[in-house]
Amino acid sequence: MIEGVKIFEYERYSDERGWLNEVWRSDVTGFHPEMGYVSMTLPGKSRGPHEHRKQTDYFIFMGTSEFLVKLWDRKKSIEDRIIAPEGKITVIMVPPGVVHGYRNTGRSGGLVLNIPDKLYGGKNRKYAVDEIRHEDSGCYTMD
């Protein structure tokens, strides 16, 4: 696993009403988000690859579809692949400097929640977004 990347497994609590699954705890992660957003990615579509200079992403793959998550440590030429399976919540924390992207490899729209530790565009969206995009570079592919 690339240094600084963490995968968290939280317990699911079930009863006759359904289930509840924790997705973030500061006492487990030591991580403190600044914002949150949810996205839906269609089957066969990708987001990324990109990286951040200062932002840590905390992705919660909601289990609504299967995802292939790819991570690259440019300094050590390491590539990691993680499968976030359908039917299971998968939580992955990606630190600054790690190139990352994901592709929906399932058959339905997949929901992903991200609660990063920086505000997108800074307070009141006054600053440049902390993002280095690699989709068209050819260096990193989601294949």
Going by the DSSP 8-state scheme, the letter that residue 56 receives in this structure is P
For residue 91, the one-letter residue type is V
The pTM of the full predicted model, rounded to 2 decimals, is: 0.94
Q: In 3-state terms, what secondary structure has residue 27? A: helix
Q: How would you write 106-142 as a 3-class SS string?
A: CCCCEEEEECCCCCCCCHHHCCCCCCEECCCCCCCCC
The third-level CATH classification (topology) of the domain covering 6-119+127-132 is: Jelly Rolls (2.60.120)
- For 33-79, write each residue's pLDDT tens digit: 999 999 999 999 999 999 999 999 999 999 999 999 999 998 888 99
Cα gap 120→7, rounded to integer Å: 23
Domain residue ranges in the chain? 6-119+127-132
- For 85-143, write each residue's pLDDT tens digit: 999 999 999 999 999 999 999 999 999 999 999 999 999 999 999 999 999 888 899 98
